[in-house]
Amino acid sequence: MGRPPKSNIRQRRKHTREPLFSLYDDIDNQPRTSGLVLLNPTQRKEKKAKAQRDFITRRVVQTTSILKRRAAQKHRDGEDDRLYTEVLMELDEDEGPSALNDDNGSEFMPILSSGDWEDDDTVEEEEHLLYFQAKGAIHDLLQNASYICSGFLPFNPLLNKSLVSLQTVELYHHLFMRCPRLGVQPFLRALCDLQGVRFKNNLSVQFSSAYDLYIRLTESVRSRVLTSLDRTTPDWRMLNTCPPCQYEVEGEEPQLIRMMLAVDGNNSLKRFERREQKEDGTLLGPTREKPDVRIGGGDYFLQPSQVDLWDEPNWGKWVDWTPMEKADRIACTDRWSNLNEAKTARSFGSFDVNGIFAGFCHHSFVLAFSDMIKTGEQYVCPISVQLQFTHLISRSKYLLSLLHHFMSACRKDRRRRGFPEEPMGSLAVGYDIACGMVDKIACGPLSQLAKDERLQMMIGLLHGYAHNRLCQLTFLMLYIYGAGIEDLEVCERFFSHSNALASVTRYMSKFRRRQAISSYAYHRDNFETYANLSKFIHSNYRQALGIIGRSKETAKTLRNLGLLDTEKVIGYIDEERDYLKSRNSTPEAELLTSSYYRALVKLSDCREKLQQARRTFRLYEKGEYAVSGEESFYLSERQMVNEQELEAKLLVDVQSLEERLGLRADQRWCKGSEHWKKSEELVAMSKYQSSLDKLEGLIVARIFELSRMNVSGTGYKMRQHIGHAMQKRSTAIRSALENYNEAAAKLTPPRKLLDWDDVLNYTYLSEFDFLRDTRSDVRNKVWAKPAVRQAISELFKLLRATEEICKLNIEIKRLVTYMKEEEEYVSSVARNIQRTNAALAYQIRKYRDERRRFNSTHHKRLNSIQKLPGFTPINVHYFHPGVGLRRQTVQGHVEEGEMELQADDNDNDDDDEEDDGEGDDQESEVDDRAEAALAVANDNVL
């Protein structure tokens, strides 16, 4: 039978109401619907039921016959006895319609019955059914293929007594992408409530299998679409995911920073590993999980073998790398080791994956993930050990592997496209502990590639308060030319949403966990991040213009402070940086002097105790303490001997230090001497600094715990736990504050004393750096005055805002060029393929529409930028498309005229931008759906 007329198809699109919720369980019995389907008139039921029975009879007869022949052949060849047992022995030996009867002789209705076709458009649905029947006679040979063509997904590869509608699985997928906390079980329970049936536990397992099949089908279709679009080169998605960052346009101005990335780790997406429990409760037993060879995650995830190559013990495997001496460690990295979270968390021993390490562009598009897999012995160890190991050793390999993966892909892409070997502009990477990773990069195998790609590490603005002043001046984006006003806190914003996946993925298998994370990332990139691109650009443009609008006030402030030369003001930052570098280490002479003084003090105290012990021993020896007994006599003797041994040891230490200082025995320092007084002041300053370090560390923990109290997703118990920890920490801060004030008062001259209110108001830890000075007083320096420091900060904000306008203009040009050329290219490919493969052309258009649906909104938002106060009309030309360097064309395709930004407020004007070849899209949509379903079924099931 031929295809239904197009007029009927168009009419069907307008009036057909298909069930949104349908779960067909126990298909031997009458299926149930949710009650959301409008019922048809009674006289249409029998006609439709008969058509459906004929259709199902044909499919099952064909399937039974083919499965029998294949199973028998495998059995004769000795290939698969299990298949023969499960298929051939369980199917009735008789072929034909009798194979559809159960043991009681009742008719077997595998998929649907008349109750499921009770809508208000029976005739059109019958035409649709007959069309599939005609197509199935040619293409479909397997029963599962017929299920898929009918709009259902099976739960098992071979024998199925339960099915789920494709619409139901698709509905769950989109709900899950929008609300990741929605797991399979609550969704099925709600579905059973709608249908008025009892929930059964096996439905979760069955539905998960069908959902895996749905994801596999969509990925397969997407792969065919990308192949048709010639987008199958390695890492194509990662290199082309963000139009403003990566879609370069001919003739654009070179930038100091060509692209900005953000990387960070997140331990919310852990995975629980099911293992046997030992009786002692310490050592984890063997795994109880079933082996699964599937990997999952697609090109979003780096493989563990790629990551392990960058573990420091494996650096020797890189043949083109020569070991180098490590650079000096920056002091502020120590405060990031565990942030005292050992008191607010438990062991990670039961988790084989402790989270993910992710990389993003600064517009929030996902570049790559890697699982932070636990290594070492599988003991349940304290979290303090785990965190120190993960953060100081393992975590560096995740950063290095991700950077190598991205930078090597960029270099290969430039070579493939014939671009210059040296990139234009640096590659900026924001990381919360960038200061601690610089030496890892400079001394490891990544050093040469980092130099070639002009890698530049940065610290995000929100993490800057936890770094000392030297780190801020070196890595904080406020002081880096070309960084603009971007904060690079992309990871935190992504994790605040992706943390909702944790409750669902924690107990998933490795495959399904990766599948869920990658599906969520794809959906967020195309339906959230891309949709908000113009909003991101508009917000930054408005913020930058606002900062520039305050330039007169900033200039007035600088003028009132006597800072008339802008270059000199900027030079104060270099002066402060040089000063802090010079004070970053203690001279060796001071270390020897203070060590010698401490040794003399210990020796003096030991000799006083020894004299007292000798006097006590002599009194016992004379018998004056005879009433105390013999035990006390031996105790006093032992104490005297111990002090003698300690004196001998301390004397050796003193003599060793005297030799290093070049002092003779008669030049030994004594109390009251000039050297003794100077060393006493030096040690007092050291004690002062130690007290300041302890106070600073407690303040760091307090700041982070305060911020975590307000993090979305922090549960009630965790909030209570953090609250109790903060109460204890407040007591510790008061004690540390008292020790600090005591040490500060002993200095000459006394240092500034702090009170409780001052400590609580310290949000930027750079304020501690001026309290830390030991050899000179910088309070008279121009750049050390609070008013001047604030004015300098405002000046740098103004400089970054000016750079941001230039960056945003280039990003606008890239975005409008991408929207024009992407639509033209994908539409052209779809038109060419329409002649030979209508189903694939339909999927290509659906792929195009994933992002195209937001383009009209982008046009309106970008146009509104021109109306912002302070906008310069000379920049209007950036709002017109250019010619992209990554532009793809179809051979023989004639380009349309330049498509400028549309000011029309109608969001549905996208169809007017198509050429005449697109006019039949809506008319043939049902045809394309049918062709697509058949193509997917035959390509992926057969």
Q: What span, in angstroms and rounded, lies between the C-alpha atoms of 390 and 372?
A: 9
Same domain, 69 and 179: yes
The beta strand positions in 180-252, using DSSP E, are: none
14 belongs to a structural domain? yes
Task: Read off the pLDDT band of 802 (50, 70, 90).
Answer: very high
Which of these three, 653, 669, 685, is where a domain ends?
A: 669
At 27, which amino acid appears?
Answer: I
Tokens in use for 908?
């549905």
Residue pair 132/1 in contact by the 8 Å Cβ criterion: no
Strand duo 351-361 + 23-24: pairing: unpaired
Paired tokens of 788: 């001047």
Is 234 contained in some domain?
no
Please count the helices (runs of H) and the strands (runs of E) in the chain.
Answer: 31, 11
- Whether 332 is in a domain gets the answer no
Q: Give residue 743's pLDDT band: very low, low, confident or very high (50, 70, 90).
A: confident
If asked whether residues 633 and 721 sit together in one domain, one would say no
Measured between alpha carbons, how far is 114 from 365 in angstroms, rounded to an integer? 47
Look at 343 and 41; give whichever has higher pLDDT.
41
Does 326 fall in a domain? no
Give the span between the Cα atoms of 467 and 765, in whole angstroms: 7
The two beta strands, 351-361 and 152-154, are: unpaired
* Residues 834 and 935 grouped into a single domain: yes
Kindly state the tokens that stand for 23.
Answer: 């779960």
On the question of pLDDT at 929 being above 60, the answer is no
Statement to judge: residues 701 and 721 lie in one domain: yes
Among 25-29, 188-192, 428-432, 770-774, the minimum mean pLDDT is found in 25-29
| H-state helical runs in 84-154 | 122-139, 143-149
pLDDT band at residue 120 under the 50/70/90 scheme: very low
Last residue of a domain, one of 500, 529, 558: 529
Do residues 47 and 106 both lie within one domain? Answer: yes
In 3-state terms the chain splits into helix, strand, coil percentages (rounded to 5) of 60, 5, 30
Measure the CA–CA gap between 399 and 293, rounded to whole angstroms: 27
pLDDT greater than 90 at residue 697: no
Q: Which of 301-315, 429-443, 630-644, 712-726 has the lowest mean pLDDT?
A: 712-726
Can you tell me the distance from the alpha carbon of 502 to that of 504, in angstroms, rounded to the nearest whole number? 5
Same domain, 176 and 314: no
- Rounded to 10 degrees, the C-alpha dihedral 32/33/35/37 comes to -140
> Coil, strand, or helix at residue 430?
strand
79 is written with which tokens? 């290939």
Question: What distance in Å separates the CA atoms of residue 784 and residue 798, rounded to the nearest whole number?
Answer: 21
Q: What are the tokens at 320?
A: 């083109």
- My answer on whether 400 and 441 are in the same domain is yes
Q: Which residues pair with 356 in a beta bridge?
A: 266, 371
Range(s) of the domain holding residue 41: 6-228
Cα dihedral 335, 339, 343, 346, rounded to 10, equals -120
Helix (H, G, I), strand (E, B) or coil at 672: coil
Beta-carbon contacts of residue 719 (< 8 Å; ≥ 6 apart)? 709
CB atoms under 10 Å from CB of 406, counted, come to 22
265: left (phi over 0), alpha (psi -120 to 50) or beta: beta
* pTM over cut 0.85: no
- C-alpha to C-alpha distance for 31 and 113, rounded to whole angstroms: 7
Which sign, positive or negative, has the C-alpha torsion 909, 915, 921, 924?
positive
Sign, CA torsion 321/325/331/334 = positive
Query: Residue 727: what pLDDT?
Result: 53
| Pair (193, 313) in one structural domain | no
User: Vertex 228, ends 225 and 232: CA angle to 5°?
Assistant: 85
Domain total of the chain: 5
Q: Report the run of H or E that residue 366 belongs to, with start and end.
A: strand 366-373
Q: How confident is the model at residue 463 (pLDDT cuts 50, 70, 90)?
A: confident
The helix or strand, by DSSP H or E, that contains position 507, with its residue range, turns out to be none
CA separation for the pair 24, 167 (Å, rounded): 12
pLDDT tens, residue by residue, 155-168:
877 666 778 888 99
Q: How large a percentage of the chain has pLDDT more than 70?
A: 63
Are 369 and 529 in contact by the 8 Å Cβ rule? The answer is no
- Confidence at residue 115, expressed as pLDDT on a 0 to 100 scale: 37
**Beta-bridge mates of residue 725:** none
Q: Which of 100-114, 315-329, 843-857 has the highest mean pLDDT?
A: 843-857
**573 assigned to some structural domain:** no
DSSP structure class, residue 363: T
Spatial CA neighbour of 111 closest among 36, 48, 60, 45: 60
Report the candidate in 347, 429, 360 with the shortest Cα–Cα distance to residue 389.
347
Chain center to CA of 139: 43
Residue given tokens 């083919």 in the structure block? 66
Inside any domain, residue 244: no
Does 652 reside within a domain? Answer: yes
The label of the residue with tokens 């030994």 reads 668
Does the N-terminal peptide bond of residue 244 adopt cis geometry, omega within 30 degrees of 0?
Answer: no
Evaluate whether 757 touches 730 at the Cβ level (below 8 Å).
no
Ramachandran sector of residue 696 (left: φ over 0; alpha: ψ -120 to 50; beta: rest): alpha
pLDDT at site 625: 52
Q: Do residues 136 and 22 both lie within one domain?
A: yes
Query: Which domain-ending residue is among 495, 529, 563?
Result: 529
Cβ(439)–Cβ(326) below 8 Å: yes
Distance CA 576, CA 473 (A): 8
When pLDDT is cut at 50, 70 and 90, the band that residue 768 belongs to is low
The 152-154 sheet, strands edge to edge? 23-24, 163-165, 152-154
Is 359 in contact with 402 (CB distance < 8 Å)?
yes
- In this structure, is the dihedral angle defined by the CA atoms of residues 24, 30, 32 and 37, taken in order, positive or negative? positive
Termini Cα distance of the chain: 24
Residue 92 vs residues 101, 154, 364, 641, 748: alpha-carbon distances, Å: 9, 21, 57, 98, 101
Residue 525's pLDDT band, with cuts at 50, 70 and 90, is very high
Which whole number is the average pLDDT over 860-887?
Answer: 93
pLDDT tens figures, 20-32 = 344 443 433 334 3
Same domain, 626 and 660: yes
pLDDT of residue 877: 93
CB hemisphere CA count around 920 (13 angstroms):
13
Asked if residue 836 and residue 718 are part of one domain, the reply reads: no
Q: How many CA atoms lie within 13 A of 653 on its CB side?
A: 17
Residues 558-578 pLDDT 10s = 999 888 888 888 888 888 888
Same-domain pairing of 206 and 265: no
pLDDT for res 656: 82
Classify residue 560: in a domain, yes or no. no
Instruction: Dump the DSSP string for 445-501.
Output: TTHHHHHHTTEEEEB-GGGGGGS-HHHHHHHBGGGSTT-TT----HHHHHHHHHGGG
Q: What is the pLDDT of residues 178-191, one digit of tens each?
A: 999 999 999 999 99
- Interatomic CA distance for residues 928 and 925, integer angstroms: 5
Mean pLDDT of the residues in the chain: 73
Do β-strands 351-361 and 366-373 pair in parallel, antiparallel, or remain unpaired?
antiparallel
CA distance 238 to 408: 12
